[in-house]
A and B are shown apart, each in its own frame.
Chain A
Amino acid sequence: MSYTEDEQVVGSFPKGFGYGPEETDSDIGASGGEEKPRILLMGLRRSGKSSIQKVVFHKVSPNETLFLESTNKIVKDDVSNSSFVRFQIWDLPGHIDFFDPTFDSENIFGGCGALIFVIDAQDDYMDALVRLHHTVERAHKINSQIKFEIFIHKVDGLLDDHKIETQRDIHQRACDDLEDAGLEKVNLSFHLTSIYDHSIFEAFSKVVQKLIPQLPILENLLNILISNSGIEKAFLFDVVSKIYIATDSSPVDMQCYELCCDMIDVVIDISCIYGSRDDGAFDDQSAAIIKLNTNTVLYLREVNKYLALVCILREDNYNKQGLIDYNFHCFRKSIQEVFEVQQNKTGESLVANGTVRSHKT
C-alpha cells in the first residue's frame, strides 16, 4: 500500500522536552533534502477531520466513520505515493489549542504547506468562524506561506440552495473578520465537501495540487495530449487515494470525475481478483477501456506505479486507437522526465525541452 497503515505518531512535542525537530522519513523517490509538505487538518471537535482523513486515505466507508472515537492526539499520516504526491497529513484534535505555549507551534505550523480548516455546515458555525479567524491569524504569523483551505463540510445534509447560501455566508464573514484584522491579503479557498460523495476527493485534489510545484508542466502536458488525441477530459490520478494531481485546463465536471473514480475502482477490483500477482493489482501493464452506452469511452493507462491517466473521449474519436496509444506513450515518457528532473534537481529548462520533443506527433 502506498500509505502507511494507521500510522499513529506522536503529535507535537511540547517545547523544551528535548525532542529534536521533526525528522523527515526517507522514503521511495525522495528527492534529496526536500521537506515533505505538510497538510494540517484543523477545526472544532466533531467537525469531521478524522473522518475526512480516514475516508480519503484509508478507504474507510463513510458510514463507519460514525464509530470513530474522538482524536486525542495529533495523528500523522504519511502519503508518499510518488515524487509528486508526497505529503504528510496531520489530524489535529479540535479540543486542544496548538497555539498554547505548551506546544511548539513553530514546529507544527512552520513546515506546513496547507491548512485545511473544517467547518461543520450542519452545526452552528459561529464558534467555528471564531476559531478559524484565530487559527488563520496565528498560523499566518508563524508561517506566511501556508495556504488556507476551508472545507465547508457535511453539506450532504443541506439542500442545494442552502449550500450556496451557507458558503456565501461563511465566505463573507470569514473574509470580513480577516479584513478587520488587517489580513486582507491572506487568501482563503472555500470548498463544499461531504464524505458521502466525491466532493471531498475533489476538494482534497485541489489542496494537493497546490502543493505540487510541477503542476503547470503536468497541466500543459495533459493539454497537449488531449488536443492531439481528440480526448475530452483527462485526469492524472493518484490511484490509491483517487486524488487527481492534475487535469487539463477545461473545467472539471463533478460527474466526469466520479465516473473516472469509479473506473479506477473497477480496474483495481478486477485486477485484484484476476491478477496474476498477489502484491500489486496495479502495474505498468495496467490499462483498461470501457465503452459506455452514452457514446463515450473511458480510457485508463498506468503512468507509473502510483499514477494513472484516465481519459474520457467520444466513441467517434476512438477509432484511431494507435494514435492515442502512441501519444500516451510520449506523455508517459515526458512525465518520467519530469520525475527525473525533480530527482536530479537539474533545473526546469530540461523539462520544457522534454515536453516539446515528445509531442511533435
Chain B
Amino acid sequence: MNAVVCFCHFCEIHGPRIVYCTQPFRPQEPKGLLESEEGETKRVKSPSVSSVCSDTVSTQTGAGTGTPSLPSMKNDICEGCYSVKKGFVSYDEGGQVSYVSTQHPNNPQVFSRIRQACIRSLSCEVCPGREGPIFFGDDQYGHVLSYTFYIKDSKARGLRRSYSIIVVMMDKIYLLNSWPFLVPNLQTVVNNLQKKAEIVHENEIGKKSQGDRIFTHHGNLLQRVNCKPARSLIELTNDKNVFVLLHLAFVWILKSCGNRITESILEGPPTEDSIIDMEKIEETEEGFMKVFKVEDETSSDSLQVNTESDVDIIDPTLPLVTNIRHLYKILGIHNFHILCHHVVIGNQIIVMGSVKQLVVSILNALKILLPKGCCRVEYYSDKYQESWKCNFLGLESNVKLPIHVMASEKFVMLEVVYDDSLNGSQFDSLDSDVEDYFRSYDFKMSSPVTLQERAPTVLNKMVAAIQNKNLSDSVLEQCFICLKEEWMNKVKVVFKFTKAGGNRSKEDTEKLLQVMGAKGEEQLLKFWMTGLSAQYRNHILSSHVQAKS
C-alpha cells in the first residue's frame, strides 16, 4: 500500500510533532536508503539522524515554510517527540518492498505533507468524542485517516497526553475503502499502548500516593509541582521496545492492507457494434459467410473496392461532408430530420449525384445513426440495388428507378444537383457557415412514404445532441454509441420476448414496450433487430430451444 503511517504527538513544548513514521519503498523508487539492503530481513538503515535532519532543513528553507515556532522539528527534539535515532527496516521478499521506520521521513515532499497532516490531525480537526478515527484531506496534500487518542501520564497537564496515528495516502478511494480494515487495527495498536500506559500510571500514582498531587501553598500562589513538560513514549509505556513494536505493527498494517484490496480495470461488455465487427473478421477468416454477406460481397465486391480506394483520394476542390453535424448544417433542420427519420426506421436511402465523393461522404455520415449491423451500404452504383441488399444506396445521377420500386418500396431519395446559377440562396440563413463550394449544389428530397408524425425517441435525442454546441465531435460520437447501445438493449429484450418466448399476445407486447419506454416505436425496433449479431441470435434461440426441451 502506498501510504505513510505516522505516529504523532502534541508535545507540551513544541506542539504537534511527528514522532515516528513508517513508509514502504519499492525498488524503482528513489533508493537512497535501500541500496545495500536486498535480502536482509531486518537491519538498521544506514543514514544517521544528522542526514535526516539536514534534509528536513533543506525542505523547510526550500519550500519556504520555515517559521520560527514550528521548524523546531529539525534541531530541537525533546524527550516527548523523540522516538528513534536511526530507525528500522523490514524487507518483504515476496513483494519486493522495504518498510522503513524513522523519526522523520527523508523525502522533503513527504515530510511537508505529513507535517501538514500531523498539524491538522492534532490541532485542527475535531473528532467526535475526542478519541477515534476521522478522515480529512485533499488532492494537494494527500488524504488522511487520523486516529487520535490519549495516553495517560500522571505528570502531564490534564493527566494525559494527546497522540494520533495518521495514515497518509494520495488515493482517496483506496484509503476510504481500507477504513474497515485500518480502523480496527489501529485501534488494537492504540489499545495496546493505552493498556501499558495505564499500568505505568497506576504504579506511579500508587508509589507516590499523594506525591503527585502536592500543591504548595505559598501566599496566594498555588502551584502544581512535579509536572514534567515532556516524557517519552518509552517511559510512559515502560516498554523499551515500543517503537520496534510500532514498526512491526505499522509494517503489518501496510502490507496486509495492500493485500486486502487489489485493483483491476473493469471493462464493460463489448458493444453490439464491436461484436458485429468481430463476426465479420471471423467469417472471412473461417472462410464461410452468411447468406446476405455472400450477396453483399459477390455483387458489389469490385465496386466497393473501387469506391473505397477512390474515396481515399479526396479531391479538395469537390465538396465533402465531413460528419453528421456537417450534413445537418447543409440540409437544414427540417430536411435533415426527415432524412434521419427514414434512416433509423430502415427505409432505403438513395443518394443520387454526379459527384461520387460527395455521395459517398453523405452515406458515411449517415451511417453513424444506425448500429453497424443495420448498415448495408452500396456506395456508388450505376444501377438500382434492391432494398434488401442495401439500405444505403449511392447512385450515379440519372439512374432510373425501376417501376416496381417507385410503386411499392419504402425509400427516400436525396438528389444532389449541381447548378451554377445557385449561389447559396437555397440554404437557410442558419447555415451561413456552410462552405462556399456547397453553394452551387442543391439537395432535393423526395419520398413516397409518409412518415409517422412522431419521430423515434432515439432520433430526437440524437438530433438534440447534434444541436448541442457544447458537445465536441468526439463526445457526440460517444453519445451516439451510448444511445445506440441503449436502444439495442431494448431491441434485444423485444427480440427475446417475441422471437424466443413463443407466442405472445399483442397485449403483452404492448405492455412490455410501455415498460421500456418504446411504445409506438415498433418500426424502429423491428428494423434494428436485423442488426443483432449472429452470436446473440444463436445464443438466444438455442437457449430457448434448450429451455423448451
Footprint of B on A, CB under 8 Å? 8-14, 16-18, 45-46, 63, 66-70, 72-74, 93, 95-97, 99-102, 122, 134, 154, 156-157, 194, 196
Contacts and interface: CB of A to CB of B under 8 A. Distances in A.
A70 B14 contact: no
A10 B125 contact: yes
A95 B160 contact: no
Contacts of A74: 123
B158 A100 contact: no
Given A10-B126, A97-B70, A100-B67, A70 B158 contact: yes
Interface in B133-174: 136, 138, 140, 156-160, 162
B16 A16 contact: no
Given A69-B156, A70-B12, A156 B119 contact: no
Mostly, the B contact residues are: mixed
A66 B222 contact: yes
7 contacts: A11-B124, A70-B157, A72-B10, A72-B16, A73-B123, A95-B16, A96-B123
Contact of A95 (B15, B116, B156, B222): B15
B63 to A, nearest CB: 9
Given A69-B158, A96-B69, 11 more contacts: A10-B125, A10-B126, A14-B124, A18-B138, A69-B156, A70-B157, A95-B13, A97-B70, A100-B65, A102-B65, A157-B218
Given A14-B119, A14-B120, A69-B160, A95 B10 contact: yes
B524 interface: no
Interface in B201-233: 215, 218-224
B68 interface: yes
A16 B138 contact: yes
Nearest to A159: B219
Interface of B: 10-16, 64-65, 67-70, 116, 119-120, 122-126, 136, 138, 140, 156-160, 162, 215, 218-224
Contacts of A8: 126
Most buried by A among B136, B221, B223: B221
A97 B15 CA distance: 9
A123 to B, nearest CB: 11
A69 B157 contact: yes
Contacts, number: 97
A155 to B, nearest CB: 9
B65 A101 contact: yes
B14 A95 contact: yes
Given A14-B119, A18-B138, A96 B15 contact: yes
Nearest to B12: A70
A93 to B, nearest CB: 7
A122 B215 CA distance: 16
Contacts of A63: 222
**Which 4 A-B residue pairings sit nearest by Cβ, starting from the closest?**
A69-B158, A95-B15, A97-B69, A157-B221
A157 B221 CA distance: 5
Contact of A73 (B68, B122, B138, B223): B122
Contacts of A69: 156-160, 162
Nearest to B68: A97
A102 B116 contact: yes
A196 B220 contact: yes
B16 A156 contact: no
Contacts of A66: 215, 222, 224
A155 B158 CA distance: 23
Contacts of B215: 66
Nearest to A197: B220
Contacts of B218: 157
Nearest to A10: B126
A10 B11 contact: no
Nearest to B123: A73
B123 A11 contact: yes
Given A12-B124, A14-B116, A70-B158, A93 B15 contact: yes
A45 B10 CA distance: 12
Contacts of A134: 68
A107 to B, nearest CB: 12
A72 B160 CA distance: 12
Nearest to B67: A100
Contacts of A196: 220
B394 to A, nearest CB: 57
Nearest to B224: A66
A72 B123 contact: yes
A42 to B, nearest CB: 12
A63 B157 CA distance: 14
Nearest to B122: A72
B152 to A, nearest CB: 11
Nearest to B220: A156
Contacts of B160: 69
B140 A99 contact: no
B123 A93 contact: yes
A102 B11 CA distance: 18
Nearest to B221: A157
B99 to A, nearest CB: 28
Given A16-B138, A72-B123, A100-B69, A122 B221 contact: yes
Contacts of B12: 45, 70, 95
Nearest to A101: B65
A73 B126 contact: yes
A73 B148 CA distance: 13
Contacts of A154: 221
A306 B377 CA distance: 88
B81 to A, nearest CB: 11
Contacts of A156: 219-221
Contact of B124 (A16, A67, A73, A157): A73
Contacts of A194: 220
Contacts of A11: 123-124
Contacts of B157: 46, 67-70
A70 to B, nearest CB: 5
Nearest to A154: B221
Contacts of B158: 67-70
Nearest to A12: B124
Contacts of A12: 124
A46 to B, nearest CB: 8
A156 B218 CA distance: 10
Nearest to A96: B15
B115 to A, nearest CB: 8
A77 to B, nearest CB: 14
B220 to A, nearest CB: 4
B67 A97 contact: yes
A45 B227 CA distance: 14
Contacts of B13: 45, 95
Contacts of B122: 72-73
A268 B159 CA distance: 34
